[in-house]
Chain A
Amino acid sequence: MSVLLDVQNVSRRYVVRSGALGAARRTVTALSDVSLTVARGETLGLVGESGCGKSTLARCVAGLDRPSAGRVLYDGRDVSDPALRDGLPRLVQMIFQDPFSSLNPRRSVGFSVAEGLWAMGMGDRAARKKRVMELLSQVGLLPEHAARYPHQFSGGQRQRVAIARALATNPALVVCDEPVSALDVSVQAQVINLLGDLRADLGLSYLFISHDLAVVGHISDRTAVMYLGRIMELAATDEIMQRPGHPYTRALLAAAPTPDPARRHSDRRALTGDAPSLFTPPPGCVFHPRCPEAMPECAVSAPQLLETSPGHFVRCLKETP
């Protein structure tokens, strides 16, 4: 499989002004030396809790934000290259958590779906109309839905519209940022199946971001776990679920509630404390203040992301030879 997306040592820092008249400046490192790849046709899951940097990474990949350091290569070319930048929206598309805020409430759904085609100068009016009908049927909506407005749809249907809109320009990579988190379980399963079908039919690649380990574990070929702007573990999804190498991954797996009353009495301890502030990341391993397996040296030296077995990367001193 050839590499479609290549994220190389990307960091993203923001300067935040505070104090009187913004005199005080503080720097937040939202992403810290993140590297990953997505192959053609592959789904890479990205899981982590609030503030771990997963949405910042999504924005850098989609060209909505620029890394402070490092490069994002799409099909071998830097996405900040002016020659590629204009065409990037056609090749990389995004689906967000809340379709209500990403669809224009005053425009018909047909208009919103066709907008990308129009902006990219693809097809004439008749061709665009035909393409909209094709897209609506692909995502399980009806032709008459094109004339309706976002408020006339349920949450699941709106997410289908957002998917149709993302697919309009035939992108190769779709960045899905919490695409099913706002949906009820019964509808969530419909949308997950739809995303799976579209991937198979159209040969799409997904960067699939979620806080929900069960959803990521279901849809992804490989999974990356992020914490405080860093990738803590990256491996094939089955491998990471069965043999999690990082204490944080193990904690996430243990904390996720499962619909199995028998699991209740098994020994699963909760992590203590909150995730630290991005303004003041702890020294050493950023996870050590909450880590149930921390050793004295974890407070001092920062571990590297190392390949512990073929294709399985872990950032933990216990896994460092």
Chain B
Amino acid sequence: MPNALLSVHDVRTVFYAAEGAAVAVDGVSLSIARGETLAVVGESGCGKTVLGLSILGLAPPPGKVASGRIVFDGADLLTLSQDELRRVRGNRISMIFQEPMTSLNPVLRVGEQIAEAIRLHRNKSRREALDEAGRMLELVGVSDTARRLAGYPHELSGGQRQRVMIAMALSLSPDLLIADEPTTALDVTIQKQILDLMLGLATAKGTAILLITHNLGVVAETCDTAAVMYSGQVVEYADVASLFANPLHPYTAGLIRSLPRPGDRTRLSPIPGTVPSLTRLPAGCRFHPRCPHVFDACRVTPPPMFRMASGRTVRCWLHAAAALETSP
């Protein structure tokens, strides 16, 4: 992938625990071009959050990136020193989390927190950084910025806190923004405001977004491409229009069929069973115990990623015959 801003190659993040090793991210590859919006979508425990943290070198202990390459603008992030990585984080890649209250320091004024990154990475004076923080707050639609800069996070509503996080994340015009469930804790009318704001600013600044979410509706409405994760692996990777029009993996199809739609009263078609534990994965394909199309090969041999003529990739034996090539 020649023009990729970020490319992740076969990354494995392993958690070593008493019960054995749990491979939370197991051989994930993906790439994001400049200005692209990529969704990583999946249910709890699929490894999407650990993947986002692994990219930033922030996999929580005892988790560790055991193998793979994470190439950002030509440099392998996994080979950088802590100092070098710190210069990338916040400056060229920033991250937004689900619950802004846990990412904001409750005893620091809002203005100081936004200004901190500007001072650290841009060598500006405190005054200049605070002015810049005020401009960022205006940009993200927070009114009465002077009062907000001098105030504390608890004085803000959930939506305003997430606006502050976006202001912090975008204040240094990063090339890549990793947003982990940025609107999950917010009401639906506020969610729409925040998504519109985040995408609008990213488009204006040419920032690429890696959006981590469980919400297929959010994926459909905001992203260019999507990687669907299940049990630590990417099982399908496609442009968003094709993914929803014609899901190739039975898990993706099952997720879409599970969704209730307003006004549609017909019985839902859930995926039977539950996600397997990472320390007791089924043999063969990890989805086979829940799959409506399971056949003999699925129970024995883990499927590789099959590349289809359309350029889409899918980890499912159903597509073996039509595939052009395979990768692990």
Contacts and interface: CB of A to CB of B under 8 A. Distances in A.
Interface of A: 49-50, 154-157, 184-190, 192-193, 196, 211-219, 237-238, 241-242, 251-264, 268, 270-272, 274-275
A192 B263 contact: no
B261 A50 contact: no
A219 B158 CA distance: 29
Nearest to A188: B258
A157 to B, nearest CB: 8
B244 A192 contact: no
Contacts of B215: 257
Contacts of B245: 261
A186 B263 contact: no
Contacts of B189: 49, 251-252, 255, 270-271
B244 to A, nearest CB: 5
A300 B206 CA distance: 45
Interface stretch (B3-11, B105-113, B216-224, B308-316): B216-224
Interface in B246-285: 254-256, 258-265, 267-272, 274-275
Contact of A217 (B190, B258, B261, B267): B261
A37 B256 CA distance: 34
Given A155-B44, A188-B270, A255-B189, 13 more contacts: A184-B44, A185-B259, A213-B188, A216-B262, A217-B261, A218-B260, A252-B189, A258-B220, A259-B220, A261-B245, A264-B222, A270-B189, A274-B157
Given A186-B255, A255-B191, A274-B157, A217 B262 contact: yes
> What class of interface size applies to chain B in its complex with A?
35 or more
What is the interface of chain B mostly: helix, strand, loop, or mixed? helix
A211 B267 contact: no
B192 A255 contact: yes
What is the interface of chain A mostly: helix, strand, loop, or mixed? helix
Given A193-B268, A270-B189, A258 B260 contact: no
B220 A261 contact: yes
Contacts of B244: 259-261
Most buried by B among A185, A189, A241, A270: A185
Most buried by B among A49, A212, A260, A261: A261
Contact of B196 (A219, A253, A259, A270): A270
Interface in B153-208: 157-160, 187-193, 196
